[in-house]
Amino acid sequence: MQTALIKPIHTNTDFEVRSLDVVDNQEPKKESILSYLKYLIMGLLFGIILVKSEVISWYRIQEMFRLQSFHMFGVIGSAVVTGIVSVWLIKKFNIKTIRGEKIQLPTKKFNKGQIYGGLIFGFGWAITGACPGPLFAQIGSGFSVIFITLLSAIAGTWLYGLLREKLPH
Amino acid sequence: MIEFLKQPWAWYVAGPLIGLMVPALLILGNKTLGISSSLRHVCAACIPAKIPFFNYDWKKEAWNLVFVAGIILGAFIVATFLSNPNPVSINPKLVAELNGYGITDQHSLLPDQLFNWQQLFTVKGLFFMVFGGFLVGFGTRYAGGCTSGHAIMGLSNLQLPSLIATISFMAGGFLMANVILPFILKL
């Protein structure tokens, strides 16, 4: 029902809002407050890793785009390899969630936004030295002014939503 | 142990740990890793303004907001208890280049001379903090994901659109860092 609301662009271009993509009856009606705790802990671990590996550092991002350090390529590359092996194992052994649900992965469709938007994000990544995860981690690390950068990123997302029908996809 | 944890972590430690976020979130709750969507949920929750793109039940995606709250908390824990006592190590070539632009204070993870409240209303400050952030938010949603959603989650699931997006991220970054930023940093 909700997908029908996003009408003028008939094809979905954003596969990250699962409740719009996946119709499953197994999803429990409500997640209890306590069950959100596991996501808080996972986020906490993710935040610790992002800071300790210095991927939230503006300098690391500049080094990556100037080919002056292997660090970021190593981090992203080994993360991807680990992810590929993990997803392959999940599929191969039909591993279920802790609730016993079948694990569902979205199949993404190509649209030109992945190129145009990708380039625009690349510009922003090199300027701020941060992708969205590190923005949150920089704020948590005490760089309070990055809250303004985060607000601006939210404004950018909002403007994209406003202009979405007029943009080439 | 604490002394060890205080050191910056090598890529071969951090990378696999980041990669393990993918199966962990899938197994814990059938969730796909992706951070930039949290920005969309904030729009949907706070300022939907009858825009169709923000007209969905963001509460069903609330886990994502809890996850980013966790990131802030995790970063705070590191800054408080596990922060690296030494200045961040930077490639000497980059140090020399930045010195040429007058960016000489390089002790923390971000250059204080570019990212601070006093700089915010200068041309450079608006460019680095406000305009840069705007491009991150606009671009990630236009692309349908960011480094975590496309480069890590999407590639883990062997999605070609995610590979195209990742190549575009890198192309945009290379162009900005090598061709455009030098002019801005000279301002």
As a whole-number percent, the residues of chain B with pLDDT over 70 amount to 100
Region A70-78 average pLDDT: 97
Residue A141: its chain B contacts at CB < 8 A?
75-76, 78-79, 109
Residue B132: its chain A contacts at CB < 8 A?
124, 127-128, 149, 152
- Please name the amino acid found at residue A134: P
The domains of chain A are located at: 30-69+109-169, 73-106
Region B60-80 average pLDDT: 97
Closest among A5, A92, A71, A75 to B57, alpha carbons compared:
A5
pLDDT tens digits along B98-154: 999 999 988 899 999 999 999 999 999 999 999 999 999 999 999 999 999 999 999
Please give, rounded to a whole number of angstroms, the shortest distance from the CA of B67 to a CA of chain A: 4
pLDDT of residue A7: 46
pLDDT of residue A27: 53
How far apart, in Å, are the Cα atoms of B69 and each of A44, A135, B93? 8, 12, 36
State whether A43 and B11 contact (CB < 8 Å).
no
Tell me which of A127, A139, A147, A148 to substitute to probe the interface with B (most B C-beta atoms closer than 10 Å): A127
- The model's confidence at residue A29, banded by pLDDT at 50, 70 and 90, is low
Region B142-169 average pLDDT: 97
Give the residue on B whose Cα is nearest the Cα of A22.
B30
pTM value > 0.90? yes
- The model's confidence at residue A22, banded by pLDDT at 50, 70 and 90, is low
Q: Is pLDDT of A9 > 60?
A: no
Tell me if chain B has a CB within 8 Å of the CB of A122: yes
Dist. CA B1–CA B3, nearest whole Å? 5
The two structure tokens encoding residue B21: 């976020």
pLDDT of residue A21: 73
Which residue among A16, A54, A143 places its CB closest to the CB of B115? A143
Question: Which of the two residues, A11 and B141, has the higher pLDDT score?
Answer: B141
Which residue among A59, A69, A75 places its CB closest to the CB of B18? A75
Radius of gyration of chain B (CA): 19
Q: Is pLDDT of A26 > 90?
A: no
pLDDT of residue B135: 98
Closest among A139, A136, A61, A49 to B37, alpha carbons compared:
A136
Measured over the CA atoms of residue B147, residue B150, residue B151 and residue B153, the dihedral's sign is positive
Residue A112: its chain B contacts at CB < 8 A?
none
Dist. CA A132–CA A138, nearest whole Å? 10
Residue A144: its chain B contacts at CB < 8 A?
117
Mean pLDDT over each residue of chain A, to the nearest integer:
90
Q: Is pLDDT of A25 > 80?
A: no
State whether B177 and A66 contact (CB < 8 Å).
yes
